[in-house]
Amino acid sequence: MKRLAVVVAVISLACRGGDGDDDEARVPSRVHGRAVILDDQARATLELAVAPVREAELPDIRVRYGRVAARPGDELVIAAPLVGQVTAVAAVAIGDRVTAGQELVRVGPVLGASERAALGVQTAEIGAQVAQAEQEVRLREAELTRTRDLAKDGIASQAKLQEAEAAVTSARARLAAARQGRQAQAGALGRAVSLKSPADGTLIALDAVVGGGVETGRPLARVLRGGARRIDLSVGASDPIATAYEVHVDERWLPARLVARGTTIAEDGNRHDLIELEPGAEPLLGSTVEVRLATAQTRGLVVPESAVLSAAGGDIVYVEGPHGTFEPHLVQITARFGGRVRVARGLAAGDAVVVRGVAALRGEAVRAALGNDED
């Protein structure tokens, strides 16, 4: 019996020793110095993803600023086709989406007895306005063609080209308004004219109130057609063309392409290049945006931008160590582009960095540190 008791005691001690090892293997979430230590369950809950630091090429960048503009023809003007009075205004607000054919304003003609008698004269006047507008469109289109040819040879500036494009757009809008007036005159006298959006887009201006009088050709609404937005980018007069561009829009960095290089020095002493965002990105017209310009490729340690967390003391990256340990490293970043960053100091090739869940890990570190303080 004594021998049996000794065997049982040895087995019991061995089991307790095994349990102690298991306790060491299951590392609880806690803070040790600057590092946060997670057990497997906490790591899974935070959905952390880790990747090794590698050497790769990433371009150097310059940061410049530009002004958002619409492409020529994307800003559509809805003008009054005749002298009249606003009888209805759509219940839409600036910034609302509108669809092609949606009524925005309704205008009724205002004609007294004498005006009715002079209707024929007015019709002739509108016909003359149409002819004059058609002649102006032809003239502006010819000037635009000539300016484009000169711009290709570097003789005309990008600003002149944009000015010519805007002149064509305005002339076409006046012609459309004049033709609408002629159609209104040809229709039933006294019937209100419905002014509709010519395309799907965003309402950016609405200058009409019920009961207000309007003159022929007065702009009542403007609609911005959906599509790519352009950036008038101010760069140094001698700066080289970048190899790629990124624009900061709504807390995101979006790619852009070069449309035209400025060929003259503006009054601000800079050259103005024209770049274009991909369709779908629609920053506010006239707003100023930050632009990254990529230059020469440089080799270095590169990590995803998602691995970097901004802190009071600078940028940090969490590096995984043994036994579920994650330690923050203060890093020096020399370039950011295309969702990646190049690190000059603070990491070594092969380091395992957290590339997903960094903010959650930082929160866990703060939570665990507060828990330790309470203990």
- pLDDT tens for 131-152 read 888 888 899 889 888 888 888 8
- Note the pLDDT of residue 9: 38
Q: How many contiguous H segments (helices) and E segments (strands) does the chain have?
A: 6, 22
Strand ordering across the sheet containing 103-109: 193-196, 103-109, 84-89, 213-214
- Note the pLDDT of residue 4: 36
In what helix (H) or strand (E) does residue 212 lie, and over which residues does it extend? none
The segment with the largest mean pLDDT, out of 54-58, 83-87, 216-220, is 54-58
| Phi, then psi, of 48 in degrees rounded to 5 | -75, 145
Short-list 59, 55, 53, 63, CA closest to 335: 59
Sign of CA dihedral 313, 317, 322, 323: positive
Task: Provide the whole-model pTM.
Answer: 0.62
- Note the pLDDT of residue 116: 57
- Mean pLDDT, residues 337-363: 92
Of 17-26, 36-45, 100-109, 343-352, give the lowest mean pLDDT range: 17-26
Short-list 88, 117, 77, CA closest to 193: 88
Quote the tokens at residue 307.
């691995």
Q: Is the pLDDT of residue 10 over 80?
A: no
Residue reference for tokens 């790619």? 255
Of 151-165, 322-336, 345-359, give the lowest mean pLDDT range: 151-165
Q: Is the pLDDT of residue 189 over 60?
A: no
Q: Is the pLDDT of residue 124 over 50?
A: yes
- Note the pLDDT of residue 363: 84
Q: What is the DSSP string of 67-124?
A: EEEEPTT-EEEEE-SSSEEEEEE-S--TT-EE-TT-EEEEEEE---HHHHHTHHHHHH
Cα 348 to Cα 345: distance, rounded to the nearest angstrom: 8
Count of alpha carbons within 13 angstroms of residue 212, beta-carbon side: 14
Q: Is the pLDDT of residue 373 over 70?
A: no
Give pLDDT tens digits for 161-182.
888 888 888 888 888 888 877 7
- Note the pLDDT of residue 257: 95
Quote the tokens at residue 374.
């309470």
pLDDT-derived band at 342 (thresholds 50, 70, 90) equals very high
The share of the chain scoring above pLDDT 90, in percent, equals 44
Decide: 62 and 295 in contact? Cβ < 8 Å. Answer: yes
- Note the pLDDT of residue 291: 96
